[in-house]
Structure 1
Amino acid sequence: MTRSRTGTAAVLREVGGALQRTEIVCNELRPDELLVRMVGAGICHTDLSVMEGVVPVPLPVVLGHEGAGVVIERGSAVTSLEVGDHVVLSFDACRACRACQRGLPGYCTHARALNYACARSDGTTTLRDATGPVHGGWFGQSSLASIALASERNAVRVPRSNELALLAPLGCGIQTGAGTVLRALKPSPGQGIAIFGAGAVGAGALMAAVAARCSPIVVIDPLPSRRQLALELGATHALAPDEVGERSSGLRKVLGGTLDFCVDTVGTQAVITQALNALGAPGVCATLALRGGANPVSISQTHLLYGRTLVGVIEGDADPHTFIPELVRMWRAGQLPLERVIQTFPFDRLDEALAKMRDGSVVKPVLTFGGIE
């Protein structure tokens, strides 16, 4: 076993338990696999959902699905990436089914097996520790570790950068929010939008709405600090949920009218009702939240009858291979100020990063694993 295949990972051994920093070894690469030395890895609410048992996966497991790092080894069948390439890791997709061929890999026919099974297609695990097999391959990567296995399907080459860790959330959270605006909703300049929830996904949607020159741009969040940040990032209005009103009468009063679009990052009955009530006719609400289970909501058919649409969006309707490079260009042009929503934590401060994410004091924590070299 080469030294490069040994690293340290945050291992979840039981639902409700703490992530344990553990030495792990990556098993021998298959021909289509890559080994990536992680530079940064974002923590996402979907990772927390696994820890809390909302999303079931086999245990023990390494989580993390917003990785950025450097390719250090590649399988014999890998042709598009080379050792030394800087990459952002995103969700996995087969790249061959009907949805993938349409440029919508988030709806891949094999998405569940590739992203949630945490094992290869033959059932074998990608990792092990001193006690035995450890499940990897969460969203095709398991990047809460100093090394991660990925593939050409979900590793996206990006320009070399000393700030590579900042790009990690482009793999999921920022991509989901920004993609929902730029890929799914496609607003024209001057169209109005409300974003319910100012976490990482909401921040991605906000930055994209500013870049798309939407107006007005309303952000709704219970935390004053996040409302203030939203205003600094370009929102025209920032409201607390109780200022919106159950039927959005408060929001319409503030604006003097209705909106063309809403983005729901919360996924509750109350928020979806508020969002639909905030729309004009026609208008579109995109709902993005993963709350686990069936999560039934009730909507008025009259809302839909008068030209309103409620649509679910996965991963921003984006293809990471084309959209992540676009987001990098936006970042370099100053249109995607990632440094305003990201706080980095050395890997040994994992517990602090988790605590700050849970209490909302950090929008997007990113763990770091050392320099670029």
Structure 2
Amino acid sequence: MTSQTPTFPFKTEAYIARSGATSHPALEPVTYNSLKPDEVLVSIAAVSICHTDIRAIHGDFRTELPMIPGHEGSGTVLATGSQVTYVEPGDAVVLAYSSCGSCRRCIMGKNAFCDGLVEMNFAGSGEGVVKDEQGSSVKGSFFGQSSMSRVALVHESSCVKVDVKDRRELELCASLGCGIMTGAGSIFNIAKPPPSSKIVIFGAGAVGLSALLAAKLTTPSTLILIDNSPTKLSKIHPSLLQNVHVLDTSSHKTPTETATAIRALTPNNTGVDYALECIGVESCLLAAHASLDTLGTLITIGSSATAKMPFGLASHLIRGITVGGTHQGDSVSRVMVPEMISLWKRGLFPFDMMIERFGFGELGRALGEMHEGRVVKPLLVV
């Protein structure tokens, strides 16, 4: 610790999700009592909103309330704990999920499946560390960061050093820490489609559109985007949809109808080689499975507390279908985030066209716009 290190207790302001709340979380004063040896104090530049945050706010993501949400942040390092070696004060960082770095999966480069994943990312911490205005404990380590705060206590492993030219770029890059990384990683790290592949993507949110941008870089012969919200589809920047078949399924009554429409967009109605389901809805899973060509691959990306695999084994087996799931697009954040930034700077991954900026105090408005399908990726700028 240096003489410039902020002193503790450290007071700031953060959004706190509380049990039984009838509205969105409110900004409240919070106090960090200490900086652990493996923690970093980060001045937040921006935090983007993911559907996972919404689930966590409602206590539906293995989280206990009260808690500070936020798991897609960016900012500048203010101070580091005594054991931190990766970053130092002044570094620009994007914040992603946390991992231990030493278990067998982390050593294999499978950090997204770390043995300590649940404890480090979903359970949260903060007992005796984060206090609200009344002095009560608040959970404060969601995805190792709880970044819906003006200043956040962050686990070192959640930090990704980035090379950005100014604060605006740093703000935009906040959105790369989870959903966008998951969508892009599902193509780059899992599907790895060869040229001329036929690909369908279910869901025109940030995850699906990021998968779409990544898929474009693999030169597919057929690329299809599906959503049942005409409003959401109409808000997508036209340049992102060049050479893409857009299928509005709002009038479809059955998964079979959707699968038939997908097959009709492929040569000889053979179906697609890869289907990415980014929603976590059983009817979409069924349609995705039915739309596959023989030896096709279904990748499940979206999550739901209740959705199950709905297809029968007979059809599955005789077509040689492969089904795989993913967390974070199987991405190692310190590899994937800089790669996405590099692609963006070269004009190959225009994720910024999904972003809508809001003031940091406008969480309620951002959530409303997101719920109505008018915004793909809200960004709260501090």
Map of 2:214 onto structure 1: 208
- Residue 33 (structure 1) aligns with: 39
1:155 maps to 2:159: yes
Shift of 1:90: 0.4
Q: Which residue of 2 aligns with 1:246?
A: 255
Bigger shift: residues 249-258 or 106-115 = 249-258
The 10-residue stretch of structure 1 (186-195 or 1-10) with the greater mean CA deviation from structure 2 = 1-10
Shift of 1:125: 4.7
Return the letter of the residue paired with 1:160. Answer: V
Gaps of 5+ in 1: none
Question: Offset at 1:235?
Answer: 4.8
Read off the aligned partner of 1:237 and give its amino acid letter: H
| CA distance in structure 2 between the aligned counterparts of 1:215 and 1:84, rounded to whole angstroms | 45
Q: Is the 8 A contact 1:46 1:290 kept in 2?
A: no
1:131 matched residue in structure 2: 134
Which structure 1 residue ranges, 4+ long, deviate > 6 Å from structure 2? none
1:140 aligned onto 2:144: yes
1:10 counterpart = 2:15: yes
Please list every run of 5 or more consecutive structure 2 residues that lacks an aligned counterpart in the other structure: 1-5
2 CA distance for matches of 1:116 and 1:165? 24
In the alignment, is the contact (CA less than 8 A) between 2:19 and 2:59 conserved in 1?
no
TM-score under structure 1 length normalisation: 0.93
- For structure 1, which segment, 282-291 or 62-71, has the greater mean C-alpha deviation from structure 2 after superposition? 282-291
The reply on whether 1:335 has 2:348 as its aligned counterpart is yes
**Identity percentage of aligned residues:** 34
Provide Cα deviations, 1:75-115, integer angstroms capped at 9, x if missing partner. 11111211111101101111111211111111111111001
Q: Are the structure 2 counterparts of residues 310 and 230 from structure 1 closer, same or farther at C-alpha, using a change threshold of 3 Å? A: farther
How many positions carry a matched residue from both structures? Answer: 365
Q: Partners of 1:303 and 1:260 in 2: how far apart?
A: 16
- The reply to whether residue 348 of structure 1 matches residue 361 of structure 2 is yes
Once the two structures are overlaid, the 10-residue window that deviates more, 197-206 or 228-237, is 228-237
- Which residue identity does 2:17 align to in structure 1? L
Can you list the C-alpha shifts for 1:290-339, whole angstroms capped at 9, x where unaligned?
212x5323222134312111211110011001111111101111112122
Segment drifting more, 48-57 vs 186-195 = 48-57
Q: Distance in 2 between matches of 1:20 and 1:274?
A: 40
Within 1, Cα distance between the matches of 2:87 and 2:326? 29
How far apart are the structure 2 equivalents of 1:66 and 1:240?
29
Distance 2:59 2:133 in 1: 25
Deviations 1:164-185 (A, max 9, x none): 1111121000000000011011
Which position in structure 1 is the counterpart of 2:186?
A: 180
Q: Does 1:296 align with 2:311?
A: no
Structure-2 residue corresponding to 1:287: 300
Instruction: Kindly state the Cα deviation for residue 226 of structure 1 after the two structures are TM-superposed.
Output: 3.6
Partners of 2:212 and 2:362 in 1: CA distance? 29
Once the two structures are superposed, what CA deviation does each residue of 1:99-150 show, in whole Å capped at 9, x if it has no partner? 1111111111111100111116xxx353112112211000000001111111
Question: What is the SS of the residue equivalent to 2:215?
Answer: helix
The alignment status of 1:260 with 2:273, answered yes or no, reads yes
CA contact (8 A) 2:198 2:266 kept: no
- TM-score (structure 2 length as normaliser): 0.91
CA RMSD of aligned residues (A): 1.8
In 1: Cα distance, 2:263 partner to 2:237 partner? 19
Residue 282 of structure 1 aligns to a residue whose secondary structure is strand
Opposite residue 13 of structure 1, the aligned amino acid is: R
Alpha-carbon spacing, 1:188–1:20, altered in 2? closer, same or farther (3 Å): same
Which residue does 1:95 correspond to in 2?
A: 101
**Partner-residue secondary structure (3-state), 2:194:** coil
Deviation at 1:155, TM superposition (A): 0.4
> CA separation in 2, counterparts of 1:320 and 1:352?
29
Aligned to 2:3: none
- Residue 31 of structure 1 deviates from its aligned partner by 1.1
What secondary structure does 2:208 align onto? Answer: helix
CA contact (8 A) 2:39 2:81 kept: yes
